[in-house]
Structures are given as C-alpha cells and as structure tokens.
Amino acid sequence: MRPRFFSLLLVLFACAALASVSAQPDLRIRHGDDPRWASPDWDDADWTRITMDEYPAAAGPFWVRIRLEQPGPMHHAPRPDQTEVLVPPERYVYRWSAEPESSFDALFLPAVYSFELFFDGRLLARSGVVGHDRESEVPGLLDHLVRIPDDLRGGTSHLLAIRMSTYHYNFPATHFSATPWPVNMARRLRHEARLPVFPLVGAVCSLLTAAISLVLMRLGERRRALALVAAVSVVLAVFYGLIAVRWLYPYTYDWHYPRLLAITWVMTVASVLLVGLLVEQFNAPWKAWWLAGLVPLLAAAWQMSPIYELKVLWICRAMLLVALALAGWACWRRRPGAWPALAGVIVALLVVRTERRAFLDPTFFLTIEALVLLVFAAVGAQVQAGRRAAREARLTAARMEIELLKKNLQPHFLLNTLTAVSEVIEADPPGAVRFIDDLAAEFRSLAAMSGERLVPLQRELDLCRAHLKVISRRTGRDIGLAVEGARDEALVPPAIFLTLIENGLVHQRAESGAEFRLRAHVTDETARYEFFSPGSKRPDDRPAGGTGLRYVQARLEESFRGQWTFSQGAVAGGWETVIGWRTARPGSEEAAP
Amino acid sequence: MKLILIEDEPLVAQRLERFCREILGAELEKLHVASSFDEAAGWLAEHPVDVALLDLNLEGRDGMELLRRSVAGAFHTVIVSANTDRALEAFQYGVLDFVPKPFTRERLTQAFERARGTITRGAGTAKNLAVRKAGRVELIAVDDVLFAQGAGNYSELVLVNGRRELHDKTLEKLAAILPPDFERLHKSYLVRLSAIKALHASEGSHYEAELKNGPRLPVGRTRYKELRAKLA
C-alpha cells in the first residue's frame, strides 16, 4: 500500500490513541476454591492484584475480591444519573443516598462467566454452575441485575467476592474485562426497558423501507438502486435485531461472542452495500474502485479495537468516510439528492464517535436510519422523475402514432387521391383497379406501422415505394427510389423516409424519371442515412421546421433519446437530409456522447 | 364561356376538363389547363377568361396567395379543392363557389350555373375585395365599400372614407360575390342598402337615392318600386 494511504489511516483513526487512562480499583484474584474467601474479613493481602482487563479466559474456578469504598471528602462523586456511563475508576466508588431514585441499591453484571456473587459474605446471586472444566461448567445468562438487601447497605466499605469460571468464554482473547456496576435498581430497570426501543424502531423502519423498495420493484421499477436500498435495509434490520435481542431474549454468555461477531460482520456488509448504493444512486464512475477503496478501510477498522462494539463504530466511520467522498463528488457533479446525502453523512460522521461510551446509542440508530432514508428519498425522486419521463414517452408515442395515422387521413392526399381514383374508374377501369391496389398497399404498410416505435428498414422502403407509385399515378410523373448500402433488417423509426419523400415532393419540382436516393452507413452501434430529394427548389423558401420535419425529429427523439443527429441543406440537383443515431441502446437514458 | 383550369394533378385536371366540356357543351368557347399558377398567370395576361377553376393546394403549397391574386382578376374564381376547411376563408376573399374534392358532375354544374347567373344572387359572402395596385394585390374590406360604380369592364369602388379604387370585375360579377346587403340601383350602381338615407322622385320619372354621407345616385325606373319596398 502507498504511504498516502497510511497517512489517511493515521488521520482517520487518530482518536484511537485517546483511550482513557484510568486508575485501577482494588481488585484481587486467586485461583482455587474456598468458601471462606467470600468473607469480608478474609485476609487477601497475598492475592494477586489485577486490573479490570485481566480476568483470565477459559479458567476456573477462581475468586475475585473487590472493595467498594465511600469517596473521601475531596473526591468528586459521580452524579447518580451517570450510573450507566462507563468511567472505570469511579464505578467502584459509590455514595449511599437517602433518596430512593438516586441511591445505589443494586449491581448490574454483564457476565461472560458463570459465577456466585457474595456481598459482605452473603450470597446474593448465582449464574449457571461454576465448574472445573468446560464440561462441568454450566454457562449462565449474560446480564444480571442483583439487588443489594437493605441491611447490607450503609457503611463506608464493602466487599464484593465473586466465585467464577470462564470455560465457555469463546472470544479469541486470553483475558477479558468484567465490570460489576453499582446501579439504582429502579432506574436501571427503566433504562433496560428503553434499550431495545431504538433498535426496534430502526428494524421496523428498515423493514418498511425494504418492503416499499420491493413493492416498487414489483410494480416495474427495475432499478439497481432500489434493489440495493432493499438489501441495505434488510441487512440493517438484521443488525438492529441482533442489537435488540440482548434485551428482548436473554441468552447464556457463551452466545455473546457469536452475537457480537455477527453484528460486526453484518455492519461490514451493510457498509459495503451502503457505499454501493451511493455509487449506484449517483451513477459514479469507476464503481468497482469506490468499493475497492472501502475494503482496506474496513480491514483497518476491524483491527482498531479488540472490543467488538468499537469495531462496529470504526467500520461505520470507515464507511461514512467513503460516503463523504462519494457525496462530495456527487455534489460537485450536481447529482440530484447529493446535497442532503452529503449533509447526512457529515452529521453521521460527527455523531459516530469511537471513544469509549455507551454502545450504539439512540443517535447512532437515528443517524444511520436517516442516512438510509435520505438516499431512499433520492431514489424515490429518481423513480418519480423516471415515471414522469416514461409517461411523457408514452404520450409522445401516442402522439406519434396519431401523426402516423394522420398521414393516411391527410385530407389533401386522401381527397385528391379519391378524385383521381374517380376519374380513373370512369376513364380507365382496369387502370383503376391497379391504382386502388397501389393505394391499398400504401395504407396497409402505414397501418402495420402504427403503434411501432421502430420498424425494419425494408418495411419503410416498401412504404416509400408504394407511396411513390400512388404519387406517380396521380401526377403522371415517374419518380423512383434508389437505395445503397442498406441493411433490410436495420431498425428505423416508422415513416421518417416517407416524410422526407413527401417534403421533397412539396418543396422540389422533380421531373419524371427522377429518383430519391437513400445511402446508408450502418454498423452494429451507429446508423447514418443520407437522403437525397431530387429536383429544383421551388421559388418559395423551404420552411425551417415544418410539420414533416417536426415529425421526423420527434420520432428520432422518441427512439434515440439525445443520441441522434439531423442536418439538411441544398446540394447539387436537390436537397440532402442526413440523419444519424446510435443503435446500441435505443431509448437509453444516458446522455449523448 | 372561356375557362381556365389551374390544377397540378393530371387525372384531376382530366376529370375537370371532361366535366366542363360535358356541362357547357357548345357554350364552352375556350378551355385552357394550367398546372401552376404562374403558368396560368402568363396565359391570363394574354387571354380573357370568364371563369377560373383553381386548386387551392397546388403541388402541396398553401394557395391563399394564389387565391388573392385570382380573385383580383376580372373573371369569376371557383375553387376546386380538397381543403374544405378553407372554404369559409375563400368565400370571404370573394370566390364565386367552392367545389370540394372529390367532385361530381352535378356539383360542377351548380358552380357553372352560379357563374352564368342562373342562380339568383344572395349567396355572396365576400368580406374582402382584392384590387390590384402597382403590381401587388390589396384587400379592401367589404364593410368599407359604400357603393360600386360600373366603368366598362371594370368597377369603381367608392369607400366610406371617400376613397375610390378600381376593381377588375364588372358590376355584374361583383354583384355575384357581394353580400345581399348590396343592391343594384341602376345599371351602373351597386349600393349598400344600409347607406341609403332617402329615395327621391322628381318630375319625368327621375329617381334618386340620397346616401347618408351626402351623394345622390340615380335609381333605375324599373328598380325604384322594389327598392322602396326593401327600404320600407
């Protein structure tokens, strides 16, 4: 990897160095098993002092003794409402209070071990069965809220003794952090009741978003962005569900590692999908490179912290950084919906902070969900614009069909032709039959084309020749059509060359024996047709944009949106019209090259 | 009767010519077929014509300018066209008749009867009269015409503002295309009835119509009674 990338990582994860440094509580450990070690009077001076992060994994039984002290007169006591905030040195410092709502009257233990908990020598709680090996240990539930009896409260010093085994601790680490939190029971219960709310709201929102996206797709909106919105939403719903499950369905501690691993992977997948969604939504170039740029950032995020909650936040931050670059690029290129997305990403980056704090608080859920909804709104706006364009295209197609049919019914052509037919019927009955046959052939060709957006060139040429036959019979002038280099199966908008012939007959005076000429240059991707109308120009000026030309141009726009050319001008002996288009993707919404 | 057919489609021209010959028979003195108005104009410059049968859409072009030039001529113009949506406009320019395509012999016969004057007048709906002025054609609103005075093969239009304009049509031909409001007072005068203030009779059966703006015009002895009844 290039040095620049390392610099970027350095900037990105600079705050990783801001890990809090704390004083260590009085925490002592001894391997072995003796019921007397629960007594507050037991002399543990010879026990090993450890830090809160040095609990041994896959071990037991062993005992841990923790002293709870009243703060001294100069000590800053924590506010009661911060009981859930992890501030390591203070959490073992407590203040009994006369106020029921603010006093510590319980211990909260997120325990990745089986244990028996003694408070001043009295057994208060038991989780699973402490064992001598993996077989004899029965894993207990992860979370515990242990009430401290009234008669044990008060005084200036207390002893917490925990008998534990950790044979089902299946994280890869050899040591872990265990933290009994002194809490107020009533407040803790209310807090726990609130904990699953935001994840559940996020899950419901995500599922709704996914459902709406799928319904839109079912209704015919085959957009990759919609599929990605649905995929991101489903993955986020799983993510939120995994978060909420801890509070809704308590599980034994051996499931904690698989759950956190799943959360981290799900967030990784969501990050890739979210970046993919932004790339797709803003139609960014080098799509694979954006995702390729995300991969090393995600890999680095996985390594930023051994704590899985923090891994998730780092992953989220890495994703947001790529999203920031993408949204910034989209704003620069004035992509629709880019500015709200950029604002959302910036807010999310400010909110998703990785210092040690409560894991995935409500702002995280709201921000991520808002970001997804912003992008979804942009997709929705795009869908709406696409539907409007489709509706206009349908209207144009209908209008074009009417224009085509009007060519059949154009009064001057039809009534003059009927007048001529009347004369031929009376003057030359056999000739009248041939005349009517020619006329029928033209009408059949036109009728067969109505409703078509593109027809094979051969059918168009048949129509032109049928029309010239009718005109020749009416005017007495024999006018032909010569074709060079045409592919019969090449697709062309219906009646465009017929319209050029009609224009030529009106605006030029072609003598009998003259020929219209069509020269085609068709490849698999492009088509270019040079159409020559013979004859001297009539004295009056050729109109710049008559009905016929408008028809031709509208047909070209309908079939080759923005990817066609049209030019015309006088040439020796007549008038030339040159039409070109890209045949690779007719109707494509991409801009003309 | 001298005719010119201005029609660019040979089969239609052929049909028109055939019908004209059948309808007019010996009455047809001369018939010329022109496939463009320029060709017709050249022919008309050297040959007198009674009726021109004109296609409004010659070779796909809008024929209103052709119509203006045609109706300014001394002859009657009968439009034979598929553009029936332009009929009202054509009548307002002062054409004698509008025969829609495809046409029948009977309908063409009716147009010739109108040209001959066999059909009594009253159907005239001209709202403009075209007059030639220094190589161009100018339209004069019929509402501005007070009366017309015969001047040999021409007519002199006297306008409300006193201006006088020379029109190529005879008084008889003007009478065929002007609205029924115009009445023949005298062999030489065609007057708008609403412009007459009073009728005066003097000794020797000499009658006059006094117009609202002052002038007095002679009234034919045979027309006096009928005129008085109309003004009553």
- How does pLDDT run across A401-447, given as a tens digit for each residue? 777 666 666 777 788 888 888 888 888 888 888 888 888 888 888 88
pLDDT band (50, 70, 90) for residue A77: very low
Alpha helix (H) ranges present in A169-307?
Answer: 185-194, 197-218, 224-248, 256-281, 287-303
* Alpha-carbon distances, residue A174 vs A171, A460, B28, B175 (angstroms): 8, 80, 125, 121
Q: How many residues does chain A have?
A: 593
Q: Does the pLDDT value for residue A256 go beyond 90?
A: yes
Residues contacting A330, CB < 8 A, separation 6+: A278, A282, A284, A337, A338, A341, A342
Q: What pLDDT sits at residue A4?
A: 38
Q: Which residues of A touch B12 (CB under 8 A)?
A: 416, 419-420, 423, 474
Distance, in angstroms, between B66 CA and closest chain A CA?
Answer: 13
Query: CA-CA distance, A244 to A253, in Å (whole number)?
Result: 16
Q: Does the pLDDT value for residue A91 go beyond 60?
A: no
Q: Which of A474, A502, A507 sits opposite B9 (nearest CB)?
A: A474
The ipTM assigned to this model is 0.70
Hey, are the CB atoms on A415 and B57 less than 8 Å from each other? no
**Beta-bridge mates of residue B165:** B157
Q: What pLDDT sits at residue A144?
A: 93
Hey, are the CB atoms on A416 and B9 less than 8 Å from each other? yes
Question: pLDDT tens digit string along A486-498?
Answer: 888 888 988 889 9
Question: pLDDT tens digit string along B107-134?
Answer: 999 888 888 765 555 456 677 787 877 7
Q: Hey, which of A141-155, A573-587, B54-68, B201-215 has the most confident mean pLDDT?
A: A141-155
Q: What pLDDT sits at residue A211?
A: 92
Query: CA-CA distance, A288 to A47, in Å (whole number)?
Result: 57
Locate the chain A residue with the closest alpha carbon to B16. A423
Mutation test of the interface with chain B: which of A406, A413, A415, A428, choosing the one with the most B Cβ atoms within 10 A?
A415
Please tell me whether residue A260 adopts helix, strand or coil conformation. helix
Quick check: A504 and A548 in contact, CB under 8 A? no
Hey, are the CB atoms on A475 and B8 less than 8 Å from each other? yes
| Between A8 and B156, residue with greater pLDDT | B156
| Between A141 and A336, residue with greater pLDDT | A141
Quick check: A28 and A64 in contact, CB under 8 A? yes
Q: Does the pLDDT value for residue A366 go beyond 80?
A: no
Residues contacting B157, CB < 8 A, separation 6+: B129, B131, B140, B145, B148, B164, B165, B166, B167
pLDDT band (50, 70, 90) for residue A46: very high
Q: Which of A420, A426, A506 sits opposite B59 (nearest CB)?
A: A506
Q: Which residues of A touch B8 (CB under 8 A)?
A: 475
Pairs of CB atoms within 8 A across A/B? 65
Question: pLDDT tens digit string along B133-160?
Answer: 777 777 788 888 889 988 888 888 888 8
Q: What pLDDT sits at residue A12?
A: 27
**DSSP-derived pairing of the beta strands B196-202 and A574-582:** unpaired
Tell whether A423 lies on the interface with B, counting CB pairs under 8 A: yes
Q: Which of A411, A421, A424 sits opposite B82 (nearest CB)?
A: A411
Hey, are the CB atoms on B9 and A475 less than 8 Å from each other? yes
Average pLDDT score over chain B: 82
Q: What pLDDT sits at residue B150?
A: 87
Q: What pLDDT sits at residue A370?
A: 78
Please tell me whether residue A490 adopts helix, strand or coil conformation. coil
Locate the chain B residue with the closest alpha carbon to A475. B9
Alpha helix (H) ranges present in chain B?
Answer: 10-24, 37-46, 64-71, 87-93, 105-116, 171-177, 221-231
Q: Which residues of A touch B85 (CB under 8 A)?
A: 411
Going by the DSSP 8-state scheme, the letter that residue A519 receives in this structure is: E
User: Amino acid identity of A380?
Assistant: G
Task: Look up the pTM and report it.
Answer: 0.53
Tell whether B9 lies on the interface with A, counting CB pairs under 8 A: yes
